[in-house]
A and B are shown apart, each in its own frame.
Chain A
């Protein structure tokens, strides 16, 4: 897709909700600078602390001095130190960004200055909704990264395994990932749609594209099933002359809901086939590109449910979670015998149980 002529309606809608522009219109270039100082704080803070669905975070910048705030600050606020003041998960935090860019943490915001703060620029994260208020006018922050709690407090990964584990735990397990949700045949997540492979690859690729620092990341397109493109996802880090190839498999059942026919039913054997394929590819790649450090990762999306009939419309907790902790037995154990084969990562996908 290419952008040729600008769609003015779309552009105008974006500008109406653009906090940087609102700050400029209200406070001039100084407003832009102060709003950016808030964003800078969020960026740096995210190196040491994380946000979740329960986080309550307020970061504000006053646009003019206020003697009451100056007085109360002495008793209610202290200088914020990155990597010291807040570590781990943020529960509730109120930060003032001073004119020189230095952050101050307020133990609580006294009610007498609540109104004063609103005359400046205020960022708020509450129940996964982010807003900017500029002189009391609030505007929501649009989601560029759909599934992220915050668009600004982001933690990047430089390690692929860490990124895969994070995806498994935060996005895959409860199908929080919006692209992964498209792989399900129905909303209770009992079965996949027919041929969900590309959707699963794309979901994982999308997450890694956003959260993993990399040089290049290639996704095998839906139509590509020939030997010239055997790899599902390939990631390259040129600085370290390294690459990773990810083989994506799924186990469980897929269904055609209209006919109630099971279109595929895969068990452990499919995961073992994936391991074989990956090992073969690594071996042939090693022959051709001996100087490159390439590692293989097998990712298995597991939607197995116990005793699930095609006519079922619900699953009990016992049957739905039966395979939650049932690891796949690999034979041969390539991750034990090959140095370039990482331990397979199984992502059990929970259904909605009755």
Chain B
């Protein structure tokens, strides 16, 4: 049985990614669900409220078991179908997510999912991955080459602090959360690349 929040997240992100970048891969979907979770932290919500947790996968990027199960179920139901190396939302999946969006709890989540997916208007999937490779939680686990929970208490506290600074710099409470996320990803890429160039 899939976690309802994860199932909705998968369908909603899958729909947007199908539209924006002609499909999605599993790692891409996990990554954007992680970005959505970060946007809820940006607004000061506890990480436990998100409903499911992330560990670091073999490639160091975030992975949520509930999202993976949701994809498997959706493939089985025909709400998602494979197209080459990617997956797309089917008309049945579009109908399902449209109905799920009417639920009160999902309407709140939708802002975070939309904010995360819309970063693909500015970045390509590869650069979103690159940005998160510079994410403090991710890079620590990747360098150590071990699998662990990503959003531990110290990591979350650090995000709250960083995002507080970002909110102050933006100087307004964004309804459209793509603005803070795009800014955050650009910041990660710029500072990460600058540091890497000093190393080499």
A residues near B (Cβ < 8 Å) are 1-8, 10-12, 14-15, 18, 20-21, 24, 29, 32-33, 36, 39-40, 43, 47, 142, 144-145, 151-152, 154, 156, 158, 209-216, 218, 237-240, 242
Contacts and interface: CB of A to CB of B under 8 A. Distances in A.
Contacts of B120: 43
B108 interface: no
B179 A20 contact: yes
B187 A210 contact: no
B59 A36 contact: no
B199 A21 contact: no
Contacts of A3: 134-136, 162, 187-188, 191-192
A286 to B, nearest CB: 21
B43 to A, nearest CB: 16
A240 B84 contact: yes
B85 A213 contact: yes
B166 A6 contact: yes
Given A6-B166, A158-B84, A214-B85, A1 B199 contact: yes
Given A142-B186, A144-B127, A214-B85, A1 B134 contact: yes
Given A2-B139, A4-B136, A239-B82, A11 B178 contact: no
Contacts of B85: 158, 213-215, 237, 239-240, 242
A29 B175 contact: yes
A10 B191 CA distance: 8
Nearest to A31: B176
Nearest to B188: A3
A205 to B, nearest CB: 11
A209 B130 contact: yes
B183 A21 contact: yes
Contacts of A39: 121-122
Contacts of A18: 179, 182-183, 186
A14 B176 contact: no
B170 to A, nearest CB: 7
B190 A14 contact: yes
A36 B158 contact: no
B22 A47 contact: yes
Among B59, B86, B87, B140, the most chain A Cβ lie within 10 Å of the Cβ of: B86
Contacts of A215: 25-27, 85
Contacts of B162: 3, 5-6
A213 B179 contact: no
B15 interface: no
Contacts of A5: 161-162
Contacts of B20: 40, 43
A216 B126 CA distance: 10
16 contacts: A1-B195, A1-B199, A3-B136, A3-B187, A18-B183, A40-B20, A144-B186, A152-B122, A213-B86, A215-B26, A216-B58, A218-B59, A237-B25, A237-B85, A239-B82, A239-B86
A12 B158 CA distance: 19
Contacts of A212: 126
Interface string B59-86: 1000000000000000000000010111
A327 to B, nearest CB: 30
A5 B159 CA distance: 10
A23 to B, nearest CB: 9
Contact of A36 (B161, B178, B188, B199): B178
